[in-house]
Chains A and B, each alone.
Chain A
Protein backbone atom coordinates (compact mmCIF):
# COMPACT_ATOMS: atom_id res chain seq x y z
CA UNK A 1 0.00 0.00 0.00
CA UNK A 2 3.09 2.16 -0.09
CA UNK A 3 1.68 3.91 -3.14
CA UNK A 4 -0.77 5.93 -1.08
CA UNK A 5 1.71 7.48 1.28
CA UNK A 6 5.02 7.69 -0.54
CA UNK A 7 5.77 10.69 -2.76
CA UNK A 8 6.03 8.29 -5.68
CA UNK A 9 8.79 6.44 -7.38
CA UNK A 10 11.06 8.21 -9.85
CA UNK A 11 12.73 6.10 -12.48
CA UNK A 12 16.18 6.73 -13.96
CA UNK A 13 14.71 6.77 -17.47
CA UNK A 14 11.26 8.05 -18.48
CA UNK A 15 10.27 4.77 -20.10
CA UNK A 16 7.04 5.03 -22.14
CA UNK A 17 5.08 1.78 -22.11
CA UNK A 18 2.67 3.26 -24.65
CA UNK A 19 5.29 3.70 -27.40
CA UNK A 20 6.48 0.14 -27.02
CA UNK A 21 3.03 -1.42 -26.97
CA UNK A 22 2.15 0.67 -30.05
CA UNK A 23 5.06 -1.03 -31.80
CA UNK A 24 3.35 -4.35 -31.02
CA UNK A 25 5.90 -5.49 -28.46
CA UNK A 26 3.99 -7.73 -26.05
CA UNK A 27 4.49 -7.23 -22.28
CA UNK A 28 6.36 -10.51 -22.08
CA UNK A 29 8.63 -9.40 -24.91
CA UNK A 30 10.57 -7.40 -22.34
CA UNK A 31 9.33 -8.83 -19.03
CA UNK A 32 10.40 -12.29 -20.11
CA UNK A 33 10.71 -13.74 -16.63
CA UNK A 34 6.97 -13.34 -16.08
CA UNK A 35 6.39 -16.47 -18.13
CA UNK A 36 9.23 -18.42 -16.59
CA UNK A 37 9.53 -17.66 -12.92
CA UNK A 38 7.81 -16.37 -9.83
CA UNK A 39 9.09 -12.82 -10.12
CA UNK A 40 8.46 -10.94 -13.35
CA UNK A 41 11.73 -9.08 -12.93
CA UNK A 42 13.05 -6.25 -15.03
CA UNK A 43 14.38 -6.61 -18.53
CA UNK A 44 18.17 -6.69 -18.72
CA UNK A 45 19.77 -3.62 -20.30
CA UNK A 46 21.21 -5.79 -23.05
CA UNK A 47 17.67 -6.57 -24.18
CA UNK A 48 16.81 -2.87 -24.48
CA UNK A 49 20.10 -2.20 -26.20
CA UNK A 50 19.55 -4.95 -28.74
CA UNK A 51 16.45 -3.21 -30.13
CA UNK A 52 17.79 0.29 -29.66
CA UNK A 53 21.14 -0.32 -31.37
CA UNK A 54 20.18 1.81 -34.33
CA UNK A 55 17.84 4.26 -32.67
CA UNK A 56 18.11 7.99 -32.51
CA UNK A 57 20.44 9.18 -29.75
CA UNK A 58 19.08 12.71 -29.93
CA UNK A 59 16.29 11.60 -27.66
CA UNK A 60 17.70 12.27 -24.18
CA UNK A 61 16.00 9.22 -22.68
CA UNK A 62 17.39 6.87 -25.32
CA UNK A 63 20.77 8.50 -24.82
CA UNK A 64 20.58 7.57 -21.14
CA UNK A 65 19.80 4.00 -22.07
CA UNK A 66 22.74 3.88 -24.43
CA UNK A 67 25.03 5.30 -21.76
CA UNK A 68 24.06 2.49 -19.39
CA UNK A 69 24.49 -0.08 -22.12
CA UNK A 70 27.93 1.23 -23.09
CA UNK A 71 29.10 1.13 -19.49
CA UNK A 72 27.74 -2.40 -19.29
CA UNK A 73 25.57 -1.40 -16.35
CA UNK A 74 22.06 -2.43 -15.50
CA UNK A 75 19.58 0.42 -15.39
CA UNK A 76 18.79 1.05 -11.70
CA UNK A 77 15.02 0.77 -12.11
CA UNK A 78 13.17 1.27 -8.89
CA UNK A 79 10.48 -1.06 -7.77
CA UNK A 80 6.92 0.24 -7.93
CA UNK A 81 4.92 -2.88 -7.30
CA UNK A 82 5.56 -4.75 -4.09
CA UNK A 83 3.43 -7.42 -2.50
CA UNK A 84 3.59 -7.87 1.25
CA UNK A 85 6.30 -10.39 2.13
CA UNK A 86 3.79 -12.93 3.42
CA UNK A 87 2.13 -13.26 0.03
CA UNK A 88 3.52 -15.70 -2.50
CA UNK A 89 2.50 -14.82 -6.01
CA UNK A 90 4.05 -16.81 -8.85
CA UNK A 91 3.85 -14.94 -12.14
CA UNK A 92 4.43 -18.05 -14.25
CA UNK A 93 1.24 -19.80 -13.30
CA UNK A 94 -0.88 -16.68 -13.78
CA UNK A 95 0.73 -15.54 -17.02
CA UNK A 96 1.79 -18.68 -18.86
CA UNK A 97 -0.72 -21.21 -17.58
CA UNK A 98 -3.86 -19.33 -16.59
CA UNK A 99 -3.24 -16.75 -19.34
CA UNK A 100 -4.52 -13.82 -17.33
CA UNK A 101 -3.78 -10.51 -18.98
CA UNK A 102 -1.18 -8.40 -17.19
CA UNK A 103 -3.62 -5.50 -17.01
CA UNK A 104 -5.92 -7.50 -14.76
CA UNK A 105 -3.59 -6.76 -11.87
CA UNK A 106 -1.35 -4.00 -13.19
CA UNK A 107 -4.00 -1.75 -14.73
CA UNK A 108 -3.86 -0.05 -18.15
CA UNK A 109 -0.05 0.18 -18.40
CA UNK A 110 -0.31 0.41 -22.19
CA UNK A 111 -1.60 3.98 -21.93
CA UNK A 112 1.39 5.32 -20.04
CA UNK A 113 3.78 7.64 -21.79
CA UNK A 114 5.99 7.88 -18.70
CA UNK A 115 6.68 5.56 -15.77
CA UNK A 116 3.95 5.43 -13.14
CA UNK A 117 5.03 6.89 -9.80
CA UNK A 118 2.82 4.38 -8.03
CA UNK A 119 0.89 1.24 -8.96
CA UNK A 120 -2.11 1.89 -11.17
CA UNK A 121 -4.13 -0.55 -9.16
CA UNK A 122 -4.00 -1.40 -5.49
CA UNK A 123 -4.97 -5.00 -4.98
CA UNK A 124 -6.33 -6.47 -1.81
CA UNK A 125 -6.83 -10.09 -0.86
CA UNK A 126 -10.50 -9.83 -1.84
CA UNK A 127 -9.43 -9.16 -5.43
CA UNK A 128 -7.38 -12.38 -5.51
CA UNK A 129 -10.15 -14.39 -3.87
CA UNK A 130 -12.84 -12.95 -6.14
CA UNK A 131 -10.89 -13.97 -9.24
CA UNK A 132 -10.09 -17.43 -7.91
CA UNK A 133 -13.71 -18.06 -6.98
CA UNK A 134 -15.09 -16.79 -10.26
CA UNK A 135 -12.62 -18.71 -12.41
CA UNK A 136 -13.11 -21.86 -10.39
CA UNK A 137 -16.84 -21.71 -10.99
CA UNK A 138 -16.31 -21.08 -14.69
CA UNK A 139 -13.81 -23.92 -15.04
CA UNK A 140 -16.07 -26.25 -13.07
CA UNK A 141 -18.95 -25.49 -15.41
CA UNK A 142 -16.84 -25.88 -18.52
CA UNK A 143 -15.09 -29.07 -17.54
CA UNK A 144 -17.99 -30.65 -15.72
CA UNK A 145 -16.85 -33.69 -13.81
CA UNK A 146 -13.68 -33.89 -15.84
CA UNK A 147 -11.89 -31.03 -14.08
CA UNK A 148 -8.50 -32.44 -13.26
CA UNK A 149 -7.28 -32.56 -9.69
CA UNK A 150 -4.41 -30.28 -10.59
CA UNK A 151 -6.57 -27.49 -11.91
CA UNK A 152 -9.03 -27.76 -9.05
CA UNK A 153 -6.26 -27.42 -6.52
CA UNK A 154 -4.63 -24.50 -8.27
CA UNK A 155 -7.80 -22.48 -8.38
CA UNK A 156 -8.47 -23.13 -4.76
CA UNK A 157 -8.76 -20.43 -2.16
CA UNK A 158 -6.87 -22.50 0.38
CA UNK A 159 -4.93 -20.02 2.58
CA UNK A 160 -1.70 -22.01 2.51
CA UNK A 161 -1.43 -21.73 -1.26
CA UNK A 162 -0.47 -18.04 -1.05
CA UNK A 163 0.57 -17.70 2.59
CA UNK A 164 3.34 -20.11 3.42
Chain B
Protein backbone atom coordinates (compact mmCIF):
# COMPACT_ATOMS: atom_id res chain seq x y z
CA UNK B 1 0.00 0.00 0.00
CA UNK B 2 1.30 3.39 -0.91
CA UNK B 3 1.78 6.09 1.71
CA UNK B 4 1.24 9.43 0.03
CA UNK B 5 3.32 12.35 1.18
CA UNK B 6 4.65 15.72 0.21
CA UNK B 7 7.88 17.66 0.59
CA UNK B 8 7.85 21.45 0.36
CA UNK B 9 11.17 23.18 -0.19
CA UNK B 10 11.06 26.53 1.64
CA UNK B 11 14.17 27.61 -0.24
CA UNK B 12 12.23 27.42 -3.48
CA UNK B 13 8.88 28.82 -2.36
CA UNK B 14 8.51 32.44 -3.40
CA UNK B 15 5.17 32.96 -1.72
CA UNK B 16 3.44 33.51 -5.05
CA UNK B 17 0.23 31.71 -3.97
CA UNK B 18 -0.13 29.75 -7.20
CA UNK B 19 -0.70 26.62 -5.11
CA UNK B 20 -3.46 28.36 -3.17
CA UNK B 21 -5.30 29.39 -6.31
CA UNK B 22 -4.81 26.05 -8.03
CA UNK B 23 -6.25 24.32 -4.98
CA UNK B 24 -9.27 26.63 -4.92
CA UNK B 25 -10.03 25.98 -8.56
CA UNK B 26 -9.48 22.24 -8.31
CA UNK B 27 -11.53 21.65 -5.20
CA UNK B 28 -14.46 24.03 -5.74
CA UNK B 29 -13.45 26.10 -2.76
CA UNK B 30 -15.96 28.90 -2.27
CA UNK B 31 -15.18 32.58 -2.07
CA UNK B 32 -16.95 33.48 1.16
CA UNK B 33 -17.19 37.24 0.59
CA UNK B 34 -15.95 40.27 2.49
CA UNK B 35 -18.39 40.11 5.40
CA UNK B 36 -17.55 36.50 6.14
CA UNK B 37 -13.85 37.15 5.67
CA UNK B 38 -13.98 39.78 8.41
CA UNK B 39 -15.34 37.07 10.67
CA UNK B 40 -12.29 34.95 9.81
CA UNK B 41 -14.34 32.43 7.88
CA UNK B 42 -12.17 32.32 4.78
CA UNK B 43 -11.77 28.81 3.40
CA UNK B 44 -8.39 27.96 1.94
CA UNK B 45 -7.28 24.35 2.09
CA UNK B 46 -3.82 25.44 1.05
CA UNK B 47 -2.58 28.53 2.75
CA UNK B 48 0.78 30.30 2.55
CA UNK B 49 1.69 31.21 6.12
CA UNK B 50 4.15 34.04 6.47
CA UNK B 51 6.72 34.56 9.14
CA UNK B 52 8.82 37.70 9.43
CA UNK B 53 12.44 37.19 10.39
CA UNK B 54 13.09 39.03 13.64
CA UNK B 55 16.83 39.25 13.30
CA UNK B 56 16.58 41.01 9.94
CA UNK B 57 14.25 43.71 11.33
CA UNK B 58 11.39 42.39 9.28
CA UNK B 59 13.42 42.55 6.11
CA UNK B 60 13.07 38.85 5.43
CA UNK B 61 9.87 36.88 5.05
CA UNK B 62 9.51 33.17 5.34
CA UNK B 63 6.73 31.53 3.37
CA UNK B 64 5.27 28.27 4.57
CA UNK B 65 2.67 26.70 2.28
CA UNK B 66 0.36 24.69 4.53
CA UNK B 67 -2.12 22.13 3.19
CA UNK B 68 -3.64 19.58 5.55
CA UNK B 69 -0.49 17.83 6.71
CA UNK B 70 -2.18 14.44 6.42
CA UNK B 71 -0.89 13.43 9.85
CA UNK B 72 -0.11 9.74 10.05
CA UNK B 73 -1.37 9.84 13.62
CA UNK B 74 -4.07 12.45 13.16
CA UNK B 75 -5.59 14.02 16.25
CA UNK B 76 -8.59 15.27 14.23
CA UNK B 77 -9.94 11.83 13.37
CA UNK B 78 -9.84 10.56 16.93
CA UNK B 79 -12.38 13.06 18.19
CA UNK B 80 -14.97 12.68 15.46
CA UNK B 81 -18.08 11.16 17.03
CA UNK B 82 -19.49 9.92 13.73
CA UNK B 83 -16.45 8.60 11.82
CA UNK B 84 -16.79 11.35 9.23
CA UNK B 85 -13.05 11.91 9.16
CA UNK B 86 -10.59 9.04 9.19
CA UNK B 87 -7.19 7.97 7.94
CA UNK B 88 -7.59 5.79 4.86
CA UNK B 89 -5.36 2.76 4.16
CA UNK B 90 -3.02 4.88 2.05
CA UNK B 91 -2.57 7.48 4.73
CA UNK B 92 -4.89 10.12 3.31
CA UNK B 93 -6.99 11.76 5.99
CA UNK B 94 -10.44 11.77 4.47
CA UNK B 95 -13.43 13.94 5.19
CA UNK B 96 -16.88 12.61 4.33
CA UNK B 97 -19.17 15.61 4.00
CA UNK B 98 -22.40 13.66 3.86
CA UNK B 99 -21.55 12.14 7.20
CA UNK B 100 -20.22 15.17 9.06
CA UNK B 101 -22.60 16.61 11.65
CA UNK B 102 -20.67 19.86 11.96
CA UNK B 103 -19.74 19.56 15.61
CA UNK B 104 -16.28 20.95 14.80
CA UNK B 105 -14.49 18.78 17.36
CA UNK B 106 -11.96 17.93 14.68
CA UNK B 107 -11.26 21.60 14.02
CA UNK B 108 -10.48 22.07 17.68
CA UNK B 109 -8.23 19.02 17.63
CA UNK B 110 -6.19 19.96 14.56
CA UNK B 111 -3.06 21.73 15.74
CA UNK B 112 -2.46 23.19 12.28
CA UNK B 113 -5.82 24.90 11.66
CA UNK B 114 -6.17 22.89 8.50
CA UNK B 115 -9.92 22.35 8.73
CA UNK B 116 -12.62 24.79 7.72
CA UNK B 117 -16.28 25.11 8.63
CA UNK B 118 -19.02 26.04 6.19
CA UNK B 119 -21.03 28.67 8.03
CA UNK B 120 -23.35 28.97 5.03
CA UNK B 121 -24.02 27.18 1.79
CA UNK B 122 -21.55 29.32 -0.06
CA UNK B 123 -22.05 28.04 -3.58
CA UNK B 124 -24.50 26.52 -5.99
CA UNK B 125 -23.75 24.24 -8.87
CA UNK B 126 -22.44 26.31 -11.76
CA UNK B 127 -20.38 25.84 -14.90
CA UNK B 128 -16.66 25.79 -14.31
CA UNK B 129 -16.76 23.75 -11.15
CA UNK B 130 -14.83 20.54 -10.96
CA UNK B 131 -17.38 17.73 -11.34
CA UNK B 132 -15.04 15.33 -9.53
CA UNK B 133 -15.39 17.17 -6.24
CA UNK B 134 -18.66 17.79 -4.42
CA UNK B 135 -19.87 21.18 -3.27
CA UNK B 136 -20.01 21.43 0.46
CA UNK B 137 -23.17 22.48 2.19
CA UNK B 138 -23.76 24.61 5.22
CA UNK B 139 -22.74 22.97 8.46
CA UNK B 140 -19.94 20.64 7.41
CA UNK B 141 -16.20 20.75 7.87
CA UNK B 142 -13.89 20.51 4.88
CA UNK B 143 -10.17 20.09 4.31
CA UNK B 144 -7.46 19.19 1.85
CA UNK B 145 -7.54 15.56 0.70
CA UNK B 146 -4.29 15.57 -1.32
CA UNK B 147 -6.64 15.84 -4.35
CA UNK B 148 -7.69 12.25 -3.74
CA UNK B 149 -10.03 12.38 -6.76
CA UNK B 150 -6.94 12.74 -8.94
CA UNK B 151 -5.60 9.49 -7.56
CA UNK B 152 -8.84 7.78 -8.47
CA UNK B 153 -8.85 9.27 -11.93
CA UNK B 154 -5.29 8.11 -12.53
CA UNK B 155 -6.11 4.61 -11.31
CA UNK B 156 -9.20 4.47 -13.45
CA UNK B 157 -7.26 5.55 -16.52
CA UNK B 158 -4.60 2.92 -15.84
CA UNK B 159 -7.11 0.11 -15.58
CA UNK B 160 -8.99 1.30 -18.66
CA UNK B 161 -5.69 1.06 -20.51
CA UNK B 162 -5.03 -2.35 -18.91
CA UNK B 163 -1.77 -1.45 -17.21
CA UNK B 164 -0.47 -0.95 -13.69
CA UNK B 165 -0.89 2.54 -12.29
CA UNK B 166 2.31 4.54 -12.00
CA UNK B 167 2.51 6.74 -8.86
CA UNK B 168 3.97 9.52 -11.01
CA UNK B 169 0.54 9.95 -12.59
CA UNK B 170 -0.91 11.21 -9.33
CA UNK B 171 -0.01 14.81 -8.55
CA UNK B 172 -2.17 17.16 -6.47
CA UNK B 173 -3.15 20.49 -8.01
CA UNK B 174 -0.86 22.55 -5.76
CA UNK B 175 2.25 20.57 -6.65
CA UNK B 176 1.35 20.72 -10.31
CA UNK B 177 0.85 24.49 -10.25
CA UNK B 178 3.94 25.55 -8.29
CA UNK B 179 6.09 27.51 -10.75
CA UNK B 180 9.15 27.17 -8.50
CA UNK B 181 8.67 23.40 -8.25
CA UNK B 182 8.84 23.72 -4.49
CA UNK B 183 6.31 20.95 -3.92
CA UNK B 184 7.32 17.34 -4.50
CA UNK B 185 4.65 14.68 -4.17
CA UNK B 186 4.82 10.91 -4.14
CA UNK B 187 4.84 7.62 -2.30
CA UNK B 188 6.75 7.80 0.99
CA UNK B 189 6.72 4.03 1.35
CA UNK B 190 8.90 3.64 -1.75
CA UNK B 191 12.49 4.41 -0.65
CA UNK B 192 13.48 5.07 -4.26
CA UNK B 193 10.93 7.84 -4.74
CA UNK B 194 12.11 11.43 -4.76
CA UNK B 195 9.69 12.38 -2.02
CA UNK B 196 11.01 9.65 0.30
CA UNK B 197 14.61 10.66 -0.36
CA UNK B 198 13.89 14.33 0.33
CA UNK B 199 11.93 13.46 3.46
CA UNK B 200 15.10 11.86 4.81
CA UNK B 201 17.32 14.79 3.87
CA UNK B 202 19.08 16.55 6.76
CA UNK B 203 17.14 19.70 5.83
CA UNK B 204 13.79 18.02 6.40
CA UNK B 205 11.57 18.94 9.32
CA UNK B 206 7.88 18.79 10.13
CA UNK B 207 5.59 21.34 11.73
CA UNK B 208 5.12 20.89 15.48
CA UNK B 209 6.89 17.57 15.30
CA UNK B 210 6.96 17.34 19.08
CA UNK B 211 3.19 16.75 19.15
CA UNK B 212 3.64 13.30 17.65
CA UNK B 213 1.10 13.83 14.89
CA UNK B 214 3.58 12.48 12.31
CA UNK B 215 2.63 14.78 9.42
CA UNK B 216 3.23 13.38 5.95
CA UNK B 217 4.00 16.86 4.68
CA UNK B 218 7.68 17.58 5.19
CA UNK B 219 9.47 20.90 4.81
CA UNK B 220 13.04 21.55 3.77
CA UNK B 221 14.61 24.42 5.72
CA UNK B 222 16.16 27.38 4.00
CA UNK B 223 19.85 26.97 3.30
CA UNK B 224 22.69 28.96 4.83
CA UNK B 225 22.38 31.69 2.22
CA UNK B 226 19.01 32.57 3.64
CA UNK B 227 20.63 33.12 7.03
Contacts and interface: CB of A to CB of B under 8 A. Distances in A.
Given A90-B156, A96-B160, A160 B97 contact: no
B134 A159 contact: no
Contacts of A86: 97-98, 134
Nearest to A87: B98
A88 B98 CA distance: 12
Nearest to A148: B164
Contacts of A161: 152
Contact of A163 (B97, B155, B156, B159): B97
Contacts of A154: 155-156, 159
Interface residues of B, number: 28
A27 interface: no
A84 B97 CA distance: 13
Interface in B115-149: 131-135, 145, 148-149
Contacts of A150: 155, 158-159, 164-165
A141 interface: no
B99 A163 contact: yes
Nearest to B95: A160
Contact of A156 (B86, B89, B135): B89
Contacts, number: 64
Of B132, B159, B165, which is in contact with the most chain A CB atoms at under 10 Å from its CB?
B159
B76 to A, nearest CB: 15
B96 A163 contact: yes
A160 B94 contact: yes
A6 interface: no
Interface of B: 1-2, 86, 88-90, 92, 94, 96-99, 131-135, 145, 148-149, 152, 155-156, 158-160, 164-165
Interface of A: 38, 84-86, 88, 90, 92-93, 96-97, 148-151, 153-154, 156, 158-161, 163-164
7 contacts: A38-B131, A85-B134, A88-B134, A88-B149, A93-B156, A160-B148, A161-B152
3 shortest interchain CB distances as A-B pairs: A160-B94, A86-B98, A163-B96
Given A38-B131, A153-B90, A158-B94, 6 more contacts: A84-B98, A93-B159, A148-B164, A149-B1, A149-B165, A154-B159
